[in-house]
Homo-oligomer: A and B are copies of this chain.
Amino acid sequence: MPHDITILTENELRAAVRLDLAAVDTVERAFAALASGKVVMPPVLSMAIPDANGEVDVKTAYIPGFESFAIKVSPGFFDNPALGLPSLNGLMVLFSAKTGLVEAVLLDNGYLTDVRTAAAGAVAARHLAPATVTTAGVYGAGVQARLQMQAAHLVRPFRRVLVWARNGAKAAACAADISAALGIEASAIADPADLAAQSQLVVTTTPAEEPIFLADWLHPGLHVTAMGSDQGGKNEIEPRVLVEAGLYVADRVSQCERLGELRAAIAAGLWEGGTPPELGDIVTGARPGRASEAQVTVCDLTGTGAQDTAIASVALAAARAGGAGTVIST
């Protein structure tokens, strides 16, 4: 039986979905659903393509209450820059959660992942950062460095941003972009310890395999979101950070144990904190969030299929409402 499928391009999706409070609320809803225990989210499918220095990940989740579920395919081909192509790409496919029929193909080249990843940072900041943040800092100078600061600013309207990256020129360019996007002061900083000392909220956004954020830099009232690690080999923050913080929160415990900062802390033999709370538990109030303005908090984001299903669903609805897309009958 023929049915209609909507094909959406990156430009159409950029017009339909922006990194705004609505996107943050959508992703927050996905985390709340995750905490309900009713979401079905299988482990990530990963395939390496060593001949091309590439890998591909597939994520999905079914969230009761959403009419569709997304399957996201994220290739990462790390020799692409030499070819003038971005390393990260991909698409999402939305299926009816009632019939399994394909509803839409979202050719986003990773844009929706960028949005839902930054939105998760805002959810973490909303529920875990101190009430007053005047300076926010970011480690790394890529797309997520920019987007994480934009997202966090939606929920903590800080006045200043500091950017640290190994490459000072890239840090300066990133700071300039953030300043232009938010209309606030933003500057590169050479000393990563200084960045931590001057900030109340920091986000690590690097692909580091050795810690670039050290436990000695923790200070009362600091919140740290680590979003760079999404694979077993990555580790951005010194494992001791997780145990010295007053509160450690995982986006999904089962993923952070394998792919996140929690993995490194367990491997170092430092983690004796039992089962930590998940971000959704904090969102729903099932587990307590920040206990005081002085507490040190950490959130470990590995990225969940639930976020993908949520952002893809609202993207399709918004695109259709705007009349966007190519309809194919098959």
A interface vs B, CB < 8 Å? 1, 5, 7, 9-11, 40-43, 45-52, 54, 56, 58, 60-62, 64, 69, 71, 73, 75-77, 80, 83-86, 89-91, 93, 95, 97-102, 105, 107, 109, 326, 328-330
Contact = CB atoms under 8 A, between A and B. Distances in A.
B73 A99 contact: no
B58 A60 contact: yes
Most buried by B among A10, A90, A107: A107
Given A85-B1, A89-B102, A52 B97 contact: yes
A329 B86 CA distance: 16
Given A47-B60, A77-B100, 12 more contacts: A5-B107, A10-B330, A40-B48, A41-B47, A42-B47, A52-B97, A85-B101, A89-B99, A89-B100, A89-B102, A90-B102, A91-B105
B100 A75 contact: yes
B42 A46 contact: yes
A329 B11 CA distance: 10
B52 A47 contact: no
Contacts of A49: 40, 62, 69, 97, 100
A238 to B, nearest CB: 32
Contacts of A328: 7, 9, 107, 326
A100 B5 contact: no
A6 to B, nearest CB: 11
25 contacts: A1-B85, A1-B86, A7-B7, A9-B328, A10-B330, A11-B330, A40-B49, A41-B47, A42-B47, A43-B45, A47-B69, A51-B62, A51-B64, A54-B99, A58-B58, A71-B73, A77-B99, A77-B100, A89-B99, A89-B101, A91-B105, A102-B107, A105-B105, A107-B330, A109-B330
Given A51-B64, A95-B75, A42 B45 contact: yes
A46 B44 CA distance: 10
A67 to B, nearest CB: 11
B1 A84 contact: yes
Contacts of A52: 97-100
A33 to B, nearest CB: 13
A5 B95 CA distance: 20
A100 B102 CA distance: 22
A95 B47 CA distance: 13
Nearest to A100: B75
Contacts of A45: 42-43, 45, 58, 60
A248 to B, nearest CB: 28
